């Protein structure tokens, strides 16, 4: 059998498997580029809109392969009914990604002579022989597995299962055409012990073909529970290397953070050399890996935190109220109930600007993240973004004393940028210096000019 590729980190995917800028510059400048999830081959994305104990969770689908081989199993805290599950368009998650992505910005120095004060996949197991529904129910009961709900949503066939012990659930899944990877039984047990249910989704091939969609759409579920968590352990069963997870948390309060692991801010507000403009993707991946290693590979990084009503600089427009509803925000107004599949008790009227977004980036392995992610909301509304600055030197004539002093200061500034970049990325400092010699425009300096400048004689 050919094993399927792991889908999102907390979804056990199945294919027959259970599967240094000055303070005055803060948050402004000209947007140049962004570090979105396209940088990562297998970055999973989850959107969580939460207020009090009410949650709407949207799960992006990065499955690649035959849709007939697709299925997922997700531990959920309660039995879900059909009206609590729906499919949404991928564009909503793409919009959140673009809006919150770490960004590159640039500034242009003004003329210093002007006295202006500028303030892995597997084949599916053979389908089991058809059994009568009554025989099926008897077999399910003997295994301690109960089908709590069965319904169709869009192109998906949905089952909600409960189980009394992991061995029975393992057997049930095997009898129904799923092959459980080694280690799943042990990882299923804590969820069963916590009385969690299992959301199982497969593709209905006939409905998928009639839908006209080329790719599977994200699934969105709504539920009420005191548990504010994301189960990731099941998704580690077949993982052979580190996995990236981006979680967008939408809240009417403020920043969200991981409570059972440290949440730290990604390094930000650093002046870096101009050539990085053409290498921003590689820069960000190297910078993230360096920070991740420095933190012993067991933290979650805050990449963005901002009120959804604005951005500075904007890498994408803020989401509209309608888009926010599609993303699961149910507290905007009384009409949200018609757009978001939540129970009547979820409805509550708030201002349309009352949405704060936190973007958390977790890179994890089974040994460093032995527990599922548990989140908490805070009242902290401080704005933060992963932001990296290109500062272009003035390239006109410099005939005044201030201009000469400015020119003498540039080599030191360029060297500081080089050292900052090397520290952030672990790139070779001499390679950085060599590249910078090709990217300072008309302001080229010979070795003797640099030397005299350091001495304050040029």
Instruction: Judge if 189 and 304 occupy the same domain.
Output: yes
Say which range, 78-82, 203-207, 374-378, has the weakest mean pLDDT: 203-207
Instruction: Judge if 381 and 317 occupy the same domain.
Output: yes
Q: Which pLDDT band holds residue 15 (cuts at 50, 70, 90)?
A: very low
CB distance 389 to 29 below 8 Å: yes
Instruction: Judge if 45 and 150 occupy the same domain.
Output: yes
Residue 2 domain-assigned (yes or no): no
Highest-scoring range by mean pLDDT, 13-17, 289-293, 330-334: 289-293
Say which range, 33-37, 46-50, 359-363, 385-389, has the weakest mean pLDDT: 33-37
Specify the number of domains making up the chain.
Answer: 2
In this prediction, residue 134 carries a pLDDT of 55
**Range 116-126 average pLDDT:** 39
| Nearest CA among 232, 10, 7, 45 for reference residue 122 | 7
423-455 burial, b at 16+ Cβ within 10 Å, e below that, comes to ebbebeeeebbebbeeebeeeebeeeebeebee
Q: Which pLDDT band holds residue 48 (cuts at 50, 70, 90)?
A: very high
| Nearest CA among 75, 40, 83 for reference residue 59 | 75
Instruction: Judge if 256 and 282 occupy the same domain.
Output: yes
Instruction: Judge if 223 and 328 occupy the same domain.
Output: yes
Instruction: Judge if 307 and 437 occupy the same domain.
Output: no
In this prediction, residue 139 carries a pLDDT of 58
Residue 303 domain-assigned (yes or no): yes
Q: What is the C-alpha to C-alpha distance for residues 219 and 206, in angstroms, rounded to an integer?
A: 18
Instruction: Judge if 403 and 346 occupy the same domain.
Output: no
Domain that holds residue 126: 12-19+23-390
Instruction: Judge if 145 and 188 occupy the same domain.
Output: yes
Strand partners, 34: 103
Say which range, 252-266, 412-426, 431-445, has the weakest mean pLDDT: 431-445
Residue 446 domain-assigned (yes or no): yes
Which of 349, 374, 390 is the last residue in one of the domains?
390
Highest-scoring range by mean pLDDT, 12-16, 178-182, 359-363: 359-363
Which of 375, 390, 405 is the last residue in one of the domains?
390
In this prediction, residue 120 carries a pLDDT of 37
Highest-scoring range by mean pLDDT, 12-26, 89-103, 394-408: 89-103
Residue 6 domain-assigned (yes or no): no
Q: Which pLDDT band holds residue 129 (cuts at 50, 70, 90)?
A: very low
Instruction: Judge if 412 and 376 occupy the same domain.
Output: no
Copy the structure tokens of residue 306.
């901002």
Burial class (CB in 10 A: 0-12, 13-18, 19+), 147: middle
In this prediction, residue 21 carries a pLDDT of 32
Q: Bigger pLDDT: 392 or 174?
A: 392
Instruction: Judge if 332 and 258 occupy the same domain.
Output: yes
**Range 419-433 average pLDDT:** 96
Instruction: Judge if 362 and 447 occupy the same domain.
Output: no
Residue 137 domain-assigned (yes or no): yes
Residue 370 domain-assigned (yes or no): yes
Copy the structure tokens of residue 418.
């080089």
Cβ count within 10 A of residue 90: 16
**Range 135-161 average pLDDT:** 84
DSSP state at residue 152:
E
238 pLDDT higher than 80? no
In this prediction, residue 371 carries a pLDDT of 92
Q: Which pLDDT band holds residue 119 (cuts at 50, 70, 90)?
A: very low
In this prediction, residue 276 carries a pLDDT of 96
- Strands in 112-196 per DSSP E: 145-153, 156-163
Which of 390, 421, 442 is the last residue in one of the domains?
390
Instruction: Judge if 256 and 146 occupy the same domain.
Output: yes
In this prediction, residue 234 carries a pLDDT of 81
Q: What is the C-alpha to C-alpha distance for residues 412 and 393, in angstroms, rounded to an integer?
A: 13
282 pLDDT higher than 90? yes
| pLDDT tens digits, 441-452 | 445 554 445 544
Q: What is the C-alpha to C-alpha distance for residues 452 and 458, in angstroms, rounded to an integer?
A: 5
Residue 4 domain-assigned (yes or no): no
In this prediction, residue 422 carries a pLDDT of 97
Say which range, 129-133, 270-274, 296-300, has the weakest mean pLDDT: 129-133
Q: Which pLDDT band holds residue 42 (cuts at 50, 70, 90)?
A: confident
| Nearest CA among 458, 411, 410 for reference residue 112 | 410
Q: Which pLDDT band holds residue 338 (cuts at 50, 70, 90)?
A: very low
């Amino acid at each position: 059998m050919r094993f399927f590729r792991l889908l999102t980190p907390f979804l056990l995917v199945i294919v027959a498997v259970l599967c240094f800028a000055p303070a005055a510059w803060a948050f402004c400048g000209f947007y140049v580029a962004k570090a979105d999830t396209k940088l990562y081959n297998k970055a999973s994305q989850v959107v969580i809109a939460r207020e009090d104990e009410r949650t709407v969770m949207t799960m992006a689908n990065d499955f690649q392969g035959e849709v007939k081989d697709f299925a997922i199993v997700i531990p959920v805290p309660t039995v879900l009914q059909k009206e609590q599950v729906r499919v949404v368009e991928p564009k909503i998650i793409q919009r959140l990604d673009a809006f919150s992505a770490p960004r590159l910005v640039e500034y242009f120095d003004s003329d210093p002579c002007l006295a202006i004060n500028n303030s892995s996949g597997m084949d599916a197991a053979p389908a089991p022989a058809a059994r009568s529904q009554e025989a099926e129910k008897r077999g399910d009961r003997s295994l301690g597995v109960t089908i709590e709900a069965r319904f169709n949503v869009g192109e998906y066939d949905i089952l909600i299962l409960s189980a009394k012990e992991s061995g029975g659930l393992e057997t049930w899944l095997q009898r129904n055409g799923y092959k459980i990877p080694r280690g799943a039984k042990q990882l299923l047990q804590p969820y069963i012990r916590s009385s969690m249910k299992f959301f199982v989704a497969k593709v209905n091939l006939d409905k998928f073909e009639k839908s006209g969609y080329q790719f599977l759409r994200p699934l969105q579920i709504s539920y009420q529970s005191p548990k504010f968590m994301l189960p990731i352990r099941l998704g580690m069963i077949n993982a052979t290397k580190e996995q990236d997870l981006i979680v967008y948390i939408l809240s009417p309060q403020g920043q969200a953070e991981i409570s059972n692991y440290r949440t730290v801010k990604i390094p930000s507000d650093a002046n870096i050399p101009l050539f990085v403009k053409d290498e921003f993707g590689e820069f960000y991946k190297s910078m993230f890996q360096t920070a991740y290693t420095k933190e012993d590979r067991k933290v979650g990084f805050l990449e963005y935190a901002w009120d959804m009503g604005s951005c500075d600089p904007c890498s994408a427009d803020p989401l509209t109220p309608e888009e926010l509803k599609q993303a699961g925000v149910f507290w905007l107004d009384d009409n949200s109930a018609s757009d978001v599949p939540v129970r009547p008790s979820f409805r509550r009227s708030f201002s349309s600007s009352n949405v704060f977004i936190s973007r958390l980036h977790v890179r994890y392995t089974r040994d460093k993240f032995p527990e599922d992610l548990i989140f908490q909301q805070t009242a902290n509304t401080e704005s933060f973004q992963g932001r990296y600055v290109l500062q272009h030197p003035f390239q006109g004539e410099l005939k005044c004393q201030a201009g000469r002093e400015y020119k003498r200061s540039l080599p030191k500034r360029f060297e500081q940028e080089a050292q900052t970049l090397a520290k952030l990325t672990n790139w070779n400092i001499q390679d950085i210096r060599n590249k910078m010699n090709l990217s300072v425009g008309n302001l080229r300096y010979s070795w003797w000019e640099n030397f005299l400048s350091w001495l304050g004689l040029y």
